[in-house]
Structure 1
Amino acid sequence: MSEAAGEIRDRLGAWCGWVLVGLAGLTPLLAWLSPISFAPVVGLAGLLCLPALRIGPQERPLAIVLLVASAWASLSTLWSPHRPALEDSVALKLFLQIPLYWAAWCGARRADPALRRLALKVLAWGLAAYGVVLLIEAFTGGALYLGLRQAIGDPIRPDLGRKNIAQGSFVLALLWPVAAAAGARAGAPKALAIPMALGTAILASRFLSDAPTIAVGLAILAGALAWIWPRSAPPAMGLATAAGIILMPLVFLLMAGLGLRVSLPLSWAERMSYWMYATAQIGAHPWRGWGLDASRAFSPHIQLHPHNGPLQLWLELGLLGAVLAGLIWIFAFRRLARDERGLLAAATVGSAAVYVFFGLISFGVWQEWWLALGALVAVTGALGDAEDTSRRS
């Protein structure tokens, strides 16, 4: 490599490194104050890292499936009953998100080593501090958040404030395993995982949000399986996720056919109503689906989306969409298989399992901030992988 080429390469590494240090520093603040802002912030990081964008031979199958899935989703807008304005077009957002998030991931792999370690330490310490904030919020009824809103002249009702704070616990429930493990590879204390996990679980429990509390245990379980069987567990989880996506409508068809009725709390009963209605509508167009974002056209039977990712994919994109989504997860989990045990790979599997879990019961497939958080998991994992590689070499 010529001296000039090496200088350009070093500049690119430093540029990407500083971009990701900034992203790491903003992550705890966004989680606490504005989770929906993850979409523009992670997108901006990807835009700034575009010069680092590469698609290598190992990544090519995943890239192809993502592009085919995006093309099919865009094509399905032709028959979707939902007609959004251009600025609300999911197809347009996917067209932008895929290359930008991929670029952010490439930027993490390309980042200067010293700045890479700094980014991981900033993220780990920042999320640990956020975990402490959630613990304080849990025992004070959200006093810090409510006080801040009051101080900036934008007061909010306590119940709405607690709802906003609880949304942040979903963010930490997703990020804490990979952030703690990657931070440890960069030299941060492993004990930082403790306030992250405790803050998530206790805040969610006290604010009556079951899913993040369950997710903490799920991340530990999935990570333990990947630690014990590093070569076989991640691919098996990918296959299980794909099978769950493809077979999901059958589960609810069987429940309806058998006449099963379960007494559930109100929020879960509403979800069950959405799921049963979505399953019935899938039967009308099982092959091509109703079209991208068509879930919004089924109000009041479904509010915004079915709160079940596999059913939403079936409902909107049909069998092909479900198969493509399954392939994406197969490729994603397969990348986490290792010949030897590694804490980082196991922790990344834990975060991936949480993403699948929340997609099953909580968030819509196309929610921009949630897709951005999925990209942030991949970016953090890539930073940690690069640190692992440099230590072994």
Structure 2
Amino acid sequence: MSVSTVHSRRLESVSLALLAALPVLMAIANRSAAAVITIAGVLSLVAFVARGERLRDALPPRGPALYAGLAFIGWAIVSLLWSHAPRTSLFVMAEAGLPFIGGVLLLLTLPAQWPARFIKAAALAFAAACILIIVELLLGLASREALGLRAQTFIFNRPVMLLLMLFFPLSIHMVRAGWRAWAFVLGALLIVTIEIATSGAAMLGLLLSAPAFLVALWSRRLGMIIAAAMLGGSLLLAPVKGDLLDALMPPRLIERLESVHAADRIEIWQDFAAALHQRPLTGAGFGTSARMAEAPFAADLPPDRGRLLAAGHPHDGFLQIWAELGFIGAILAALCGYFILRALARRDDRMVAAGVASMVAAAAVVSVFHGAWQGWWVGALMATTVWCSRQTAPSPASRQPKIP
């Protein structure tokens, strides 16, 4: 075995180890997904090249899917020309771009099949992350306070959302590796973690994704319809969601939902929709939500609109696409979603179900939480995509021929 091959395998192992350890690392440092996926992607690329392979040969074939993705990225870059906060736009683009590139590198360069020992390590890391979060919350974050770290319960919202999306493809890999019972145990542990945590977004994602997972296992066609409806409906309704809920929700119900700031969220959705109406075709520019209140057109908003533009984000990633990239950006995002669904449809039945569930969970979460371009969120999405794209390598025992 050559020296380059040894180095390649070591680098690949480190890359896989980072991917497996991601849940624990996020539980410790809740924004670490961006750095983890970026570093793992670079290591995987170096290992790939060290094996004597060329990245050019691993690139996807030219076609509508590739062009749609490049068009969306290109439109986001072009939108910097009319951004009223170009430095903020560039910072947000870098924050989202690095983990996105890292995830793409993992998709292109990691082996198509993963060994059972890696699946086991990832399952153990997943369980450890759940246990760490549960213990920390039950103890009132005492260890973090003792270390002088941030000790608010919401710091676990991000890792819990990651755990929710990763669980479905991880559970399929576990079943294929022969650990069906442990996959159920891991699912129960995830439910307990989400119940104890304070993330309403994760709870919403669980309530929607678990039934979608079961339906998709029963009928992949129906599962794909559910995923398409969730993505398409969320994007289509985003600009009018605030007005619809304001008109349909009884005031008493809004008051009862004060713990999740329902009234403020509805007003934020209305304010960002009003900002969209000022630039419906092009939007305000990529990454400008953080400073939307400073946009020149903010002065032209109706008197009853714009108060909560200073919130820094629209609490809806789909609405953020509309507000920042306009109708053109929304159309390009819809095209990207269509091709992602087409790529998912080429997977086997079980992984289709996992992909559908993760997609529904992600859509539910991003419809109510913070900015769509946060680095940790992009890293979490790319990690989930990588998990859904791989197969479980057969164990050595299963590869041995049976003796009649």
Asked if TM exceeds 0.5, the reply is yes
1:381 is displaced (CA, Å) by: 1.6
For 1:337-352, what aligned pairs fall within 5 Å after superposition? 337=345, 341-342=349-350, 344-352=351-359
1:8 is displaced (CA, Å) by: 10
Query: Residues 327 and 170 (structure 1 numbering): CA distance in 2 closer, same or farther, change over 3 Å?
Result: same
Aligned amino acid, residue 385 of structure 2: A
Q: 1:136 and 2:129 equivalent?
A: no
Structure 2 CA distance, aligned partners of 1:203 and 1:96?
29
Structure 2 CA distance, aligned partners of 1:134 and 1:366?
25
Corresponding residue for residue 33 of structure 1 = 28
What are the Cα deviations for residues 332-381 of structure 1, in whole angstroms up to 9, with x where unaligned? 22222258632x33122211211111111113111110000000001112
What are the Cα deviations for residues 82-103 of structure 1, in whole angstroms up to 9, with x where unaligned? 23269x6223445544433211
Aligned amino acid, residue 38 of structure 1: A
Corresponding residue to 1:301 among 291, 304, 308:
308
What are the Cα deviations for residues 108-133 of structure 1, in whole angstroms up to 9, with x where unaligned? 3x26x5x6433222111210232233
Pairwise CA RMSD: 3.3
- Higher mean C-alpha displacement, 354-363 vs 191-200: 191-200
Structure 2 CA distance, aligned partners of 1:372 and 1:49?
15
Does the CA-based 8 Å contact 1:235-1:333 persist in structure 2? no
Does the CA-based 8 Å contact 2:284-2:323 persist in structure 1? yes
Corresponding residue for residue 272 of structure 2 = 278
Structure 2 CA distance, aligned partners of 1:121 and 1:60?
37
Corresponding residue to 1:180 among 171, 178, 191:
171
Corresponding residue to 1:225 among 215, 227, 236:
215
1:23 is displaced (CA, Å) by: 1.4
What are the Cα deviations for residues 219-247 of structure 1, in whole angstroms up to 9, with x where unaligned? 22111222122145325522541343134
Structure 2 CA distance, aligned partners of 1:376 and 1:180?
15
What are the Cα deviations for residues 141-200 of structure 1, in whole angstroms up to 9, with x where unaligned? 34xxx32552xx43544xx1x22234322221221122222233234x233334543444
Does the CA-based 8 Å contact 1:363-1:370 persist in structure 2? no
SS at match of 1:44: helix
Q: 1:191 and 2:181 equivalent?
A: yes
Question: How many pairs are equivalent?
Answer: 371
Structure 1 CA distance, aligned partners of 2:42 and 2:258?
43
Query: Residues 239 and 328 (structure 1 numbering): CA distance in 2 closer, same or farther, change over 3 Å?
Result: farther
Structure 1 CA distance, aligned partners of 2:86 and 2:347?
48
Corresponding residue to 2:281 among 287, 291, 295:
287
Aligned amino acid, residue 286 of structure 2: L
Aligned amino acid, residue 182 of structure 1: H
SS at match of 1:35: coil
Query: Residues 359 and 9 (structure 1 numbering): CA distance in 2 closer, same or farther, change over 3 Å?
Result: farther
Corresponding residue for residue 167 of structure 1 = 158
1:203 is displaced (CA, Å) by: 3.7
Corresponding residue for residue 147 of structure 1 = 143
Query: Residues 149 and 47 (structure 1 numbering): CA distance in 2 closer, same or farther, change over 3 Å?
Result: farther
Does the CA-based 8 Å contact 2:19-2:40 persist in structure 1? no
> Where does the alignment leave 5 or more consecutive residues of structure 2 unmatched?
49-54, 294-306, 400-404
SS at match of 2:367: helix
1:257 is displaced (CA, Å) by: 7.3
1:284 is displaced (CA, Å) by: 0.9
Structure 2 CA distance, aligned partners of 1:256 and 1:346?
34
SS at match of 2:32: helix
Corresponding residue for residue 249 of structure 1 = 239
Identity of aligned residues (%): 24
SS at match of 1:45: helix
- Higher mean C-alpha displacement, 325-334 vs 284-293: 325-334
Does the CA-based 8 Å contact 2:231-2:360 persist in structure 1? no
Does the CA-based 8 Å contact 1:130-1:196 persist in structure 2? no
Structure 2 CA distance, aligned partners of 1:95 and 1:206?
33
Q: 1:14 and 2:18 equivalent?
A: no
Structure 1 CA distance, aligned partners of 2:267 and 2:373?
21
Aligned amino acid, residue 213 of structure 2: G
Does the CA-based 8 Å contact 1:218-1:354 persist in structure 2? yes
Query: Residues 33 and 60 (structure 1 numbering): CA distance in 2 closer, same or farther, change over 3 Å?
Result: farther
> Where does the alignment leave 5 or more consecutive residues of structure 1 unmatched?
none
1:211 is displaced (CA, Å) by: 2.3
Aligned amino acid, residue 358 of structure 2: S
